[in-house]
Amino acid sequence: MKFPLSTHSRPGLEDLMSRPLLPSIWRRRTHRVSRGSSVEAGSMSWTSAGPRAPLSELEEAVLIAVTGCSGLTMPDRPFADPRNGKPIMAKPNLNMAGRTAGSPDNAQGTHFFLINDSGTYFLRRLPPPSDGPATAFDPETLCSRAAQAKVQLLDHRIDVPEGKRDFPAYLDSNRFLSNLPGTTVLFPVVDLSRQYVNGLMYLLTQPEGARPAIVDDRNLYRSAGVRKWVASGFLNKDNKLPLGAIWAMRTQIEADLLLQNLMLTADAMGLGAWIHASLAPPIMLGDPKFRPTYGPMLGFDWVTPRWKPADVLRWHVPLPRYAALRACPVGLRHDGEHLIKAMCPPNYADMGAAVDDVVAAKFGPTGIYSDEGLFARIYRGDFGSQYLHQASNYSADVIACTRDLCTYIYETHGRFPAHCDTIHVPGVWLQAHHVENGYYERFFREGLTEAHRTHDQHWHGAG
């Protein structure tokens, strides 16, 4: 059965809103067994007598809201170095829309997919609710925004073909409880490329003498395309920074923080919540190496760097026929629309164009730092306008040096970034479901919280 949206759902939402944070954190536990599931476990085996019970529209809408935008951030940064009064970079953010979890420079590169019995969906990030928190948790608003966010990619629950729920697709016991009928699964991926460009620019705004000379630890620690910037003194030759140490600019942590928020929310709702190994990322995204066995799955766009003899040393790829070992996803299209578009070729003619696009999205005529109305919503009075005019932008040298660096990475290694994935997949997803209460009452001393025991009453009007 599928629980519908009804007035019965409102007490559940009210109960969720009233739950205190610390007890919710303290009592948070994983509940892997969804309603309608049976477990083979020797003397602790369990055979369910109940039907599957998919989440209601509102229950899913709450979880979708937790992945989305929740307001506007505050650029509460200094504008100048107190030691000498020189300007410092105070406009690092890529976005001003806030989310329920933090992000380096508010990059917000994390995208979610939602999987349930009705299909597989990409979740668009909508602007924050126009009326603010006053209406954000109104049931109708939640469901309306959830419907706007969902882009149906498949008309079925994504999974591997029958009989292939073994490694490398699923790990061990997960295959018996993960992604089953009646469950809702939220799967994150993180586009690292935009913040990689922006983060390099931010790194190069350091004071004179502190800007690092970036070297390539996959190319004998040679200069990463910045020799002229070292020669000019713009970069400090004695302050070397390997690309491998830069890695993913910490942008990958977004997904982990958002998953924890989802876990806490689902548990506080009285749902079962379980963060665990997802379908293997290369299989899930449709890596060409796995398509003959598993099909296109989510159908991401992939590129395979052209093999070079130096790849034997740089990447331990011995022959051209193994070039696909370095294949990487660069985007996702649906009905001709780019849902995810990494900042690199083939999405752009070259890396110079990709860098220019990042700069334009921040400082161009339609960029966020050209939108005085946006900052009027963040600041009181005319402080938003003052911020935009007083805080510094990236200098021409910073942008030009970043262009050279990004061009070097792509032309040397055939992909961007090279030292981390273009689109990072944490390899975990969150499953939310109605709990098989009898199983937990039968075998565990503290198997259920009050929220689990009263869930059907509060959310579905059950007696």
Q: What pLDDT score was predicted for residue 132?
A: 59
Q: Which residues contact 164 (CB under 8 A, 6 or more apart)?
A: 293, 294
In this model, does residue 90 exceed pLDDT 80?
A: yes
In this model, does residue 276 exceed pLDDT 50?
A: yes
Q: Which whole number is the average pLDDT over 358-383?
A: 97
Only one residue has tokens 């009804």, namely: 6
Q: What pLDDT score was predicted for residue 134?
A: 55
Residues 213, 239 contacting (CB under 8 angstroms): yes
Q: What pLDDT score was predicted for residue 4?
A: 46
Q: What pLDDT score was predicted for residue 126?
A: 94
φ, ψ of residue 63 in degrees (nearest 5): -65, -40
For residue range 178-234, what is the model confidence (pLDDT) as tens digits?
999 999 999 999 999 999 999 999 999 999 999 999 999 999 999 999 999 999 999
CA distance 97 to 128: 7
Q: What pLDDT score was predicted for residue 395?
A: 95
Q: What pLDDT score was predicted for residue 462?
A: 76
β 272-277/301-303 pair status: unpaired
Q: What pLDDT score was predicted for residue 135?
A: 63
Q: What pLDDT score was predicted for residue 7?
A: 43
Residues 233, 400 contacting (CB under 8 angstroms): no
In a domain, 1, yes or no: no
Q: What pLDDT score was predicted for residue 275?
A: 98
CA distance 123 to 437: 30
**Alpha-carbon distances, residue 390 vs 65, 87, 228, 386, 393 (angstroms):** 35, 9, 31, 6, 9
In a domain, 3, yes or no: no
377: left (phi over 0), alpha (psi -120 to 50) or beta: alpha
Residues 295, 169 contacting (CB under 8 angstroms): no
Q: How many CA atoms lie within 13 A of 452 on its CB side?
A: 27
Question: What percentage of the chain reaches a pLDDT higher than 70?
Answer: 97
For residue range 396-425, what is the model confidence (pLDDT) as tens digits?
999 999 999 999 999 999 999 999 999 999
In a domain, 270, yes or no: yes
286: left (phi over 0), alpha (psi -120 to 50) or beta: left
Average pLDDT, the chain: 95
In this model, does residue 252 exceed pLDDT 50?
A: yes
In this structure, is the dihedral angle defined by the CA atoms of residues 365, 366, 372 and 378, taken in order, positive or negative? Answer: negative
Largest CA distance in the chain: 77
For the chain, the domain total comes to 1
What residues make up the domain containing 455? 9-460
CA distance 109 to 194: 8
Q: Which whole number is the average pLDDT over 133-140?
A: 76
Q: What pLDDT score was predicted for residue 446?
A: 94
CA distance 113 to 5: 22
In a domain, 232, yes or no: yes
Retrieve residue 89's tokens.
């970079």
In this model, does residue 152 exceed pLDDT 90?
A: yes
Q: Which whole number is the average pLDDT over 6-14?
A: 73
β 212-216/236-242 pair status: parallel
- Best CA proximity match to 243, nearest among 407, 401, 419: 419
Q: Which whole number is the average pLDDT over 292-311?
A: 97
In a domain, 2, yes or no: no
In this model, does residue 1 exceed pLDDT 70?
A: no
Q: Which whole number is the average pLDDT over 338-345?
A: 98
